[in-house]
Amino acid sequence: MRDILESIPIWLYLVLVAASVPLGCLTGTLGGAVTPFALAAIPTCAAALSGQRTTAMVTAFAACAVSLAGWWFCVGQSGGAACWLTPAIGAASLLAIAGMILAVMEQLDGDIAQLHKQTTQYVRALYERDKREEQRAQQSAGTERPGGPHAGSGQLSQRETINFAMLLLTLQDVAQRISTNLDLETLVPTILDTARSSLKCQSCQLYFWNPADKTLRRADSGKCRDNPRYVPKPNQGAARWVIENRQILTRQSVERDYNLRSILQEDPSMPDAIAPLTVGGELLGLLVVDEVEDSSLTFVRMLYILSHNCALGIKNAQLFKRIEDMARHDGLTGLLNHASFREELDGLVGQAEADGSPLAVIMSDVDHFKKFNDTYGHQAGDHVLREVARLWRAVMPDDAILGRYGGEEFVCALPGSDLERARELAETLRQHLANQVLVFEGQELRVTASFGVAERTEEIASSRDLVRVADEALYEAKQQGRNRVVCYVPESVGLTSGQAPSL
């Protein structure tokens, strides 16, 4: 009732009172003075009952003003003295009624708040007593809940016992499926399938945690098998609690724990369980489990075992991927190293031979690179190589395979590009390098490079031959003065655009 009254706008009260002016003029002076108070009594009382002190007072004063206006329009009629007295009595009556109602309502609100406070204290005391009894029962039974104080589902009883045989089988199955998988792309579906079968749940999602921007990313976003009912938000509800506390949180424990009930108010669609994936205190992600058939202590133990094994498997896969990347890429520039580039080029040559698509290779060498090391030191030379690699990435298309071939030599494979397209890209990169001013420790460094370009043909069929003829074109570019692009043409080596005096 109170919510309904509070939803009545104040302008409705004032319109109702203002509408009494014509009625007052029609009914006579005394009637016109009484009419506004009769009409304003109901909204004034309603405003007072709803706790709207300002609305009640404004309505009462508006009734007084309207009654005076009605008397003024009817001043020539009889009963003028009574019309002065009637607004005063009416206003005092309305204000008194509104004041009494407001006082009573404030007293009732205070009593209700006191009762609510006492109820909260009683509930908290009962919860603390139950908590102490539960802890004593667990100590006497020698049990400990995995994942922190809120992960379990209550005291051990005859109905709620742990199936240790099932836990042992689950541990063996999890170790066999997850621990030996070092490929992160295949590990994620393995984890989800293992979780669904071991935990007997209909829905299971894995999210990776990004500590840099504090966001969660679904691990199988590109291959979603189901549409989850719940999407965790790292700054809200159950997911935030798990991220902050690094402990398993079940919906059952939240419903039982008075201190955690606010999570359900903030996150009403919370799933059956959320488990953190941590290794050595580092949070790797979250495992979200929902629609569980049985949420007993056996389920909590299984989730505890599964989450720890999943975290170890993910960490091992990430470390393996990092080591693999370090083995395949040049540590200074981040480009593929010599061996990895040749491996990628072999694959591209096989693909070009199969579908007949063009394939070109660009080789480049930084001109007079030794002088950077001799004049400014090897750190300046490293800076030059990093900046040259950055420009290669900026100019070459996304499908280009870039590599550092050795020393100051760079190489690029361009699938789907012919000789002319490769020449244009090489010339663009040459101009960028020539126009770029590199700064190292306050020193301006001018860098140029020479380029050799070759295209795969029937005569140049293998990856070895393709790199060889591109290297020959590069050698010719250096012989002709450096800072230029030379394309390899069968039976001869021809000079193309991009000529410039060497520095």
- Within 10 A of 234 (CB to CB), how many other CB atoms are there? 18
394-426 burial, b if ≥16 CB within 10 A, otherwise e? ebbeeebbbbbbeebbbbbbbbbbebebbbebb
Query: For 312-356, what is each residue's pLDDT tens digit?
Result: 888 888 888 888 888 899 989 999 999 999 999 999 999 999 999
Q: What is the pLDDT of residue 174?
A: 67
Q: What is the pLDDT of residue 46?
A: 65
Q: What is the pLDDT of residue 302?
A: 82
Q: What is the pLDDT of residue 158?
A: 39
From the centroid of its chain, how far is CA 417? 39
pLDDT above 60 for 404: yes
Q: What is the pLDDT of residue 350?
A: 94
Report, as an integer, the average pLDDT of 160-180. 62
Report, as an integer, the average pLDDT of 154-168. 50
Q: Measuring CA to CA, how many Å separate 225 from each of 189, 222, 287, 432? A: 10, 9, 15, 47
More confident residue, 473 or 371: 473
- Residue entry with tokens 């509408």: 19
Q: pTM above 0.85?
A: no
pLDDT above 90 for 295: no
pLDDT above 80 for 455: yes
With bands split at pLDDT 50, 70 and 90, how would you rate the model's confidence at 240?
very high
**Is the Cβ–Cβ distance between 406 and 342 less than 8 Å?**
no
Report, as an integer, the average pLDDT of 233-243. 91
With bands split at pLDDT 50, 70 and 90, how would you rate the model's confidence at 493?
very low
- Residue entry with tokens 């450096």: 482
Round the CA-based radius of gyration of the chain to a whole number and report it. Answer: 41
Structural domains of the chain ordered from first start: 2-113 (no CATH), 164-326 (3.30.450.40), 338-495 (3.30.70.270)
Q: What is the pLDDT of residue 106?
A: 73
With bands split at pLDDT 50, 70 and 90, how would you rate the model's confidence at 458?
confident
pLDDT above 60 for 499: no
**Is the Cβ–Cβ distance between 201 and 293 less than 8 Å?**
yes
Q: What is the pLDDT of residue 74?
A: 54
**Is the Cβ–Cβ distance between 145 and 151 less than 8 Å?**
yes
pLDDT above 70 for 423: yes
pLDDT above 50 for 217: yes
Residue type, 304: Y
- Within 10 A of 285 (CB to CB), how many other CB atoms are there? 23
State the burial class of residue 302 (Cβ atoms within 10 Å of its Cβ: 0-12, 13-18, 19+).
buried
Give the DSSP H/E element, type plus range, for residue 205: strand 201-210
With bands split at pLDDT 50, 70 and 90, how would you rate the model's confidence at 475?
very high
Query: For 75-85, what is each residue's pLDDT tens digit?
Result: 544 445 555 55
With bands split at pLDDT 50, 70 and 90, how would you rate the model's confidence at 169?
low
pLDDT above 60 for 154: no
